[in-house]
Structure 1
Amino acid sequence: SSLDNHYERLKRSTPSHNSNPDSGSGEEDTRSLPGFVNLTMGYNKYLRPYFGGMSFDCVLCPNPMNMYRHSFLPSQDYTATIYLLQRWIDPRLVFQGNKSFTLDARLVELLWIPDTYIVESKRSFLHDVTVGNRLIRLFSNGTVLYALRITTTVACNMDLSKYPMDTQMCKLQLESWGYDEDDVGFRWLRGNDSVRGLEKLRLSQYTVERYYTLSKTTQQETGKYPRLILKFELKRNVLYFILETYIPSTLLVVLSWISFWITLDSVPARTCIGVTTVLSMTTLMMGSRTSVTKTNCFIKAIDVYLGICFSFVFGALVEYAIAHYSSSQKFSKEIEEVNITNILNSSLTRYQRKISFASIELSSENVSFDDLTMNTPDKICFVLRNKMHRIFGYFTIQNPCNVDHYSKLLFPFLFMIVNVFYWSYYLYF
């Protein structure tokens, strides 16, 4: 074939072992390494081991040395720096002896390596300071150890409905790109022990609760491909959010209750407390939403709590408005009743002076009550009017000072009950 003819020409053009060592070329030194003759004398890096025969296993062992939350985008993701170790056996690289040799990383270009890729990766790069961070090591039985350091950003779709008391399950998936399961097989070296570094990982917002490995085969249009999966559970550290959001919002609610101890006549003081707490609560809600990306499809737990706190703060302001309005209405009604009473008394006194009842004698026998009967529609209207006045009387605040008295007990009690239900639901359900 043309490929065989190409390698025959390469063998003819390869300098012999007796070439001049002072020629300035380092090829004599590299050719003297055991096993390196196979690379130059017919080794085909374009063909996998056992080509044309059985498939072989490629063992993977990723070590997440560093992992951090990259950003909160509409489709959330994380960025991890990992050491990816791959091991396979290539019988074409068997040499005599019981030693292993670490080769220059640039010799990777002369070897066949698995076409492993990271599933759902958005951005990835191989570190190259000061040289490419890759390692290649050959063993006498043909085992090849290939290690490299990669930083990758992988998608991790999260459910933020319980944010910031949420627990997320993210995955790191490795799969063969071109070789299906008939050509190559992927497996973990030591199961869950193949992954190292996660138990010592320290993240700013998360704690790694647990992790485990899986192996599966995925069906694609071009065939079935081996895939290795690392699943890790991240639990968010809620203490930061308690100090930053929950405690300030709770203190604003408590601050709004101070107005209940201020008299109704102190309009500027009570209005200032109510408006200030409402504006502060609004600012806190806006700051909480800007600290997280625009996940409008989620109603988060922190949004629910801030909404509860805003309702109580706003309710305290409305309570003063109701109490002050009732107080002013009662005062005006008392003035109106006093004025009407004075007018009636003066009018009655004036008319009593002008009218003399001495010539008028009323006899009960001459009085007829037949014309004083009430029609049925009038009776119905009279009864309904009395019922409506009685109903309105139930909702009429007789003493506006009692509004503050009841609010001192009702607002804290309701706030405690709501907090019990809130924390019980989001922590245990």
Structure 2
Amino acid sequence: MLTKVLLILLGLSIILPSRSEGPHVESENRPSAYDDVYGPQPQADEEKLLSEETKPTLSGPHSTLGKLPTATHILNSILNNYDHKLRPGIGEKPTVVTVELSVNTLGPISILDMEYTIDITFCQTWYDERLRYNGSFESFVLNGNMVSQLWIPDTFFRNSKRTQEHVITMPNQMVRIHKDGKVLYTIRMTIDAGCLLHMLKFPMDSHSCPLSFSSFSYPESEMIYKWEDFKLEINEKNSWKLFQFDFTGVTNITETISTPTGDFMVMTLFFNVSRRFGFIAFQNYVPSSVTTMLSWVSFWIKKDSAPARTSLGITSVLTMTTLGTFSRKNFPRVSYITALDFYIAICFVFCFCALMEFAVLNFLTYNWTKPRASPKLRHPDIHARALMPPRASAHQHPDAFVCQIEDSDESDGEEGPSCPAQQSLSPGGIQNPGGCCKWCKKYVCVVPRCEGSIWQQGRLFIHIYRLDNYSRVVFPVTFFFFNVLYWLVCLNL
């Protein structure tokens, strides 16, 4: 009996120390083993994490994972019997779509094609009673892949020529569904829209480029658009590409247009821009004005220097022609003239008149001196006079005349005869300048010295040999008054 008791006590003494030391060894070795080896955690720990995640009363980062099945259930329930081909409120009332627009980039504006580019974020909001739900979620945000499963307004831009939807890295569109059935649909797009430019006041012009949109298939009785207090965001801090224009503001109108398919509500935004004047001034106005002034240099060149004056006049005319062509290079082929075209045309007329002034001067002086084949008699102190033939011979030759050839100090060194006028021997004593047309007889003097003539007394006459002197004053003064009148009219219209 005693032996059995001793054996039992010995067995207990061996078993109890091994059980007490086992857990102690595991607790010391476990951290080092799992720190050095990449792999899954022990099963006991995984079960502990799963049990904590599934507890609804716990709070923390793992508590949101418990709402995923709930969100999936709600989304599946509202889309289960949902027909995206039918608009909300069909047969009862029109669908009201509230529009909000954000402009990311505006421009460039193409004058030649009469269009402009705009990058917008387009937001539409409406109520769909079929999408109401109950739950702790205030809203669901769905990406572009879910858009095809919902009813979306068929809005299109009426004056767009090309439209691009951004799809990098995913389609840039989003749908947000609220628990009360409110739906927000947002999409980003780039539109090339037409803009009819009225270029009559170019380059002092301003334009209003429209952006019109409406429903493609739903008339006004089924879909209505409205602004939410005309909320339009203009992000001018972005790199707008207006270049030659300044943005002056935006306006909007709402109208109803009638088509064979019904009456549609059309919303239109007008982006107002005005042209910057600096580029056009340095490229067109300054060269045109300078070229016109350079053509007046010929008035200070002697009339005997025909090659120099002719070359300068022709060069000025050709330069103005080139400037007129260059100003129309990137310009639409409109049927009316613009303010810039009118200015260049007047400058062309001034250059052409400067060239014609020398042509008239050379023509009249050449016609006067051509019949005079005899050499000119000049002496600084002696005046030669042609003696009058006897009275009897004067009656026999009625065309005879008295001509005094003398050296004149007022001729400014001009070559040609110094005969004031031919004095007819007819009884009436009417003077008849030779070599001139009929109208020149009364108002034009084609000799270097026109003093003392009876025909010019009390009359306004033009001294051909002083035509350059007249032009030096008339051309600049006329051009100055033209510029004053031109800019007053153009800037005040």
Alignment of 1:82-161 (within 5 A): 82-95=120-133, 96-97=135-136, 99-161=138-200
Distance change (3 Å), C-alpha of 1:411 and 1:292? same
Distance change (3 Å), C-alpha of 1:418 and 1:346? closer
Q: For residues 140 and 333 of structure 1, what CA distance do their matches in structure 2 show?
A: 108
Q: Residue in 1 aligned with 2:96? A: 57
1:410 to 468, 471, 474: 474
2:234 aligned counterpart, secondary structure: coil
Aligned-pair CA distance for 1:64? 2.2
Q: Residue in 1 aligned with 2:286? A: 247
CA-to-aligned-CA distance 1:315-360 (integer Å, 9 cap, x gap): 1111112222233334435555969xx9x87999xx9xxxxxxxxx
Q: Which residue type is aligned with residue 101 of structure 2?
A: P
Distance change (3 Å), C-alpha of 1:283 and 1:320? same
Q: Which residue type is aligned with residue 255 of structure 1?
A: L
1:80 to 118, 126, 135: 118
Aligned-pair CA distance for 1:392? 2.4
- Spell out structure 1 runs of 4+ moving beyond 6 A: 28-31, 344-348, 381-386
Contact 2:447 2:465 in 1 (8 A): no
Contact 1:97 1:140 in 2 (8 A): no
CA-to-aligned-CA distance 1:131-159 (integer Å, 9 cap, x gap): 22212222222222111112222222221
Distance change (3 Å), C-alpha of 1:278 and 1:250? same
2:483 to 395, 415, 419: 419
Contact 1:188 1:194 in 2 (8 A): no
CA-to-aligned-CA distance 1:287-311 (integer Å, 9 cap, x gap): 111121322x121111111101111
Q: Residue in 2 aligned with 1:214? A: 253
Q: Which residue type is aligned with residue 319 of structure 1?
A: E
CA-to-aligned-CA distance 1:382-409 (integer Å, 9 cap, x gap): 98989x8675241344444411111111
Contact 1:218 1:225 in 2 (8 A): yes
Q: Residue in 1 aligned with 2:444? A: 395
Aligned-pair CA distance for 1:40? 3.5
Q: Residue in 2 aligned with 1:314? A: 352
Q: Which residue type is aligned with residue 88 of structure 2?
A: P
Q: Residue in 2 aligned with 1:232? A: 271
Mind listing any 5+ residue stretches in structure 2 that lack a counterpart?
1-66, 378-383, 394-425, 449-463
1:109 aligned counterpart, secondary structure: helix
2:273 aligned counterpart, secondary structure: strand
CA-to-aligned-CA distance 1:224-247 (integer Å, 9 cap, x gap): 222211122221112110011110
CA-to-aligned-CA distance 1:73-117 (integer Å, 9 cap, x gap): 47x222222111111122222232353332121110111100101
1:288 to 324, 327, 350: 327
1:194 aligned counterpart, secondary structure: strand
- Percent identity of paired positions between Structure 1 and Structure 2: 30
**Higher helix fraction: Structure 1 or Structure 2?**
1
| Segment drifting more, 110-119 vs 47-56 | 47-56
Q: For residues 445 and 236 of structure 2, what CA distance do their matches in structure 1 show?
A: 65
Q: For residues 148 and 439 of structure 2, what CA distance do their matches in structure 1 show?
A: 95
Q: For residues 134 and 384 of structure 1, what CA distance do their matches in structure 2 show?
A: 95
1:263 to 285, 302, 315: 302
Q: Which residue type is aligned with residue 173 of structure 1?
A: S
Alignment of 1:38-57 (within 5 A): 38-57=77-96
2:146 aligned counterpart, secondary structure: helix
Aligned-pair CA distance for 1:168? 1.4
Q: For residues 330 and 432 of structure 2, what CA distance do their matches in structure 1 show?
A: 57
Contact 1:38 1:93 in 2 (8 A): no
CA-to-aligned-CA distance 1:156-212 (integer Å, 9 cap, x gap): 222111111111122111101111222221001221x33433697551121122211
Q: For residues 154 and 202 of structure 1, what CA distance do their matches in structure 2 show?
A: 15
Contact 1:38 1:92 in 2 (8 A): no
Contact 2:98 2:226 in 1 (8 A): yes
Distance change (3 Å), C-alpha of 1:34 and 1:269? farther
Distance change (3 Å), C-alpha of 1:298 and 1:65? farther
Contact 2:111 2:330 in 1 (8 A): no
1:290 aligned counterpart, secondary structure: coil
- Per the normalisation by structure 1, the TM-score is 0.77
Q: Residue in 2 aligned with 1:298? A: 336
Contact 1:271 1:317 in 2 (8 A): yes
| Segment drifting more, 155-164 vs 61-70 | 61-70
1:162 aligned counterpart, secondary structure: coil
Q: Which residue type is aligned with residue 306 of structure 1?
A: I
| Segment drifting more, 402-411 vs 126-135 | 126-135
1:128 aligned counterpart, secondary structure: coil
Q: For residues 277 and 225 of structure 1, what CA distance do their matches in structure 2 show?
A: 58
Contact 1:35 1:93 in 2 (8 A): no
1:275 aligned counterpart, secondary structure: helix
How many residues are treated as equivalent by the alignment?
A: 367
Q: For residues 440 and 301 of structure 2, what CA distance do their matches in structure 1 show?
A: 31
The higher relative CO (CA closer than 8 Å, separation ≥ 6) is in: 1
Q: For residues 92 and 289 of structure 1, what CA distance do their matches in structure 2 show?
A: 59
Q: For residues 407 and 33 of structure 1, what CA distance do their matches in structure 2 show?
A: 92
Mind listing any 5+ residue stretches in structure 1 that lack a counterpart?
1-27, 352-378
